[in-house]
């Protein structure tokens, strides 16, 4: 019997540790994927903590809905090892990226193809065992996406950071036709957003980050200009550079300050999309929404169709992957710690 080696969450707030069980046999339409790469995402930190910070010392408890030991990791690429009797088209040996945002399949959101916002989700690495492991069980082959010639590490990161950035930027498409988008936060998702914005929009994006190294990396990756939002004059500098503000902004951080900066940089009629989950509380005088004719929208990852779109876009536009640092699976905990310390440029990916 093949072993399933996992870097498991055995208690919230505690380091991951290795657990070994027998590899499950895929039943019905299930497919067993041998994992080649799995990205490390900020959400993994929140899952390890057991909560998201909501601001004003309020926490969103996320400990319900999974049993411990649990396997985190939702940016998965691997090779099909076995398929259940109802998944015969899933040929063993095929290299695939795994769409992790799997829903119940029955609710209204799932029926309109938005499994990523299902209320009874079965997300891999969030509700169901994920990718910090040697293998993952996927409920149906439709969640497996061919990614050649993209390398597995890049394909893996497209399933969360890439997909999240893509789905957010898609919601800014009409606004982005009028001028450069402002991308706030040049972490893993933000850097992916920068590459995608360059491929999707006519104007090179503006970026903002408090870290000078991240600003430099963004400029090297094709940002038109980079701003330091902790600089008191940054908002005015964006307004000056754009003749009165941007029409579209994306907040990849999701903090009080990042959203205040993104919303403050909008021109009249502008729109900001939030993907980040950093935490905090945002306040704005209600009348400003009408007076500025502004929109603020939240988005969570993306649909299966959007996952296919972003893989196709990455192939067609020969998108350069963001900086990717690879670490062996058994170093999952130290990878999480590096991310927590904010010391990661681009993305960390665990290798089999
Ligand atoms: Zn993620
Ligand atoms: Zn559902």
Ligand with an atom nearest the CA of residue 110: 2
pLDDT for 52: 84
Ligand with an atom nearest the CA of residue 112: 2
User: Does the pTM of the predicted model rise above 0.85?
Assistant: yes
pLDDT for 200: 96
pLDDT for 104: 96
CA distance 297 to 275: 9
Ligand with an atom nearest the CA of residue 189: 1
Backbone torsions φ then ψ of 135, nearest 5 degrees:
-140, 160
Centre of ligand 1 to C-alpha 203, Å, is 27
Centre of ligand 2 to C-alpha 93, Å, is 30
Ligand with an atom nearest the CA of residue 160: 1
Centre of ligand 2 to C-alpha 114, Å, is 8
Backbone torsions φ then ψ of 256, nearest 5 degrees:
-50, -45
pLDDT for 126: 96
Centre of ligand 2 to C-alpha 100, Å, is 14
Task: Calculate Rg over the CA atoms of the chain.
Answer: 20
Along the 352 residues of the chain, how does pLDDT read in single tens digits?
689 999 999 999 999 999 999 999 999 999 999 999 999 998 999 999 998 878 777 888 999 889 999 999 999 999 999 999 999 889 999 999 999 999 999 999 999 999 999 999 999 999 999 999 999 999 999 999 999 999 999 999 999 999 999 999 999 999 999 999 999 999 889 999 999 999 999 999 999 999 999 999 999 999 999 999 999 999 999 999 999 999 999 999 999 999 999 999 999 999 999 998 888 889 999 999 999 999 999 999 999 999 999 999 999 988 888 889 999 999 999 999 999 998 787 889 999 9
pLDDT for 137: 98
In sequence order, the 6+-apart residues with CB closer than 8 A to the CB of 20 are 3, 4, 5, 6
Centre of ligand 1 to C-alpha 70, Å, is 16
CA distance 237 to 245: 9
């Amino acid at each position: 019997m093949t072993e399933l080696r996992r870097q498991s969450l055995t208690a919230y707030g505690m380091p991951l540790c290795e657990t070994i069980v027998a590899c499950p046999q895929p039943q019905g339409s299930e497919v067993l994927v041998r994992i080649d790469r799995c990205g490390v995402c900020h959400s993994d930190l929140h899952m390890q903590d057991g909560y998201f910070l909501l601001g004003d010392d309020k926490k969103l408890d996320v400990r319900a809905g999974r049993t411990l030991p649990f396997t985190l990791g939702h940016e998965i690429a691997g090779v099909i090892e076995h398929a259940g009797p109802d998944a015969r088209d899933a040929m063993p040996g095929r290299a695939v990226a795994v769409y992790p945002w799997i829903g119940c399949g029955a609710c209204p959101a799932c029926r309109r193809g938005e499994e990523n916002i299902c209320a009874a989700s079965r997300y891999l690495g969030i509700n169901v065992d994920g990718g910090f492991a040697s293998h993952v069980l996927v409920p149906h082959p439709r969640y497996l996406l061919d990614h050649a010639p993209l390398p597995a590490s890049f394909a893996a990161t497209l399933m969360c950071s890439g997909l999240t950035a893509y789905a957010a930027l898609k919601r800014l498409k009409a606004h982005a036709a009028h001028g450069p988008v402002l991308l706030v936060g040049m972490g893993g998702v933000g850097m992916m957003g920068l590459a995608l914005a360059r491929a999707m929009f006519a104007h090179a994006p503006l970026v903002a980050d408090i870290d000078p190294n991240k600003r430099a990396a963004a400029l090297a990756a094709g940002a038109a200009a980079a701003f330091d939002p902790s600089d008191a004059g940054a908002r005015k500098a964006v307004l000056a550079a754009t003749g009165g503000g941007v029409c579209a902004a994306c907040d990849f951080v999701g903090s009080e300050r990042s959203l205040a900066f993104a919303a403050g940089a909008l021109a009249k009629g502008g729109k900001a999309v939030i993907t980040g989950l950093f935490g905090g509380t945002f306040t704005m005088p209600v009348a400003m929404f009408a007076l500025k004719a502004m929109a603020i929208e939240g988005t969570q990852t993306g649909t299966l169709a959007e996952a296919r779109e972003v893989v196709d876009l990455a192939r067609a536009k020969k998108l350069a992957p963001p900086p990717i640092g690879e670490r062996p699976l058994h170093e999952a905990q130290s990878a999480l710690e590096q991310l927590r310390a904010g010391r990661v440029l681009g993305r960390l990916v665990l290798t089999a």
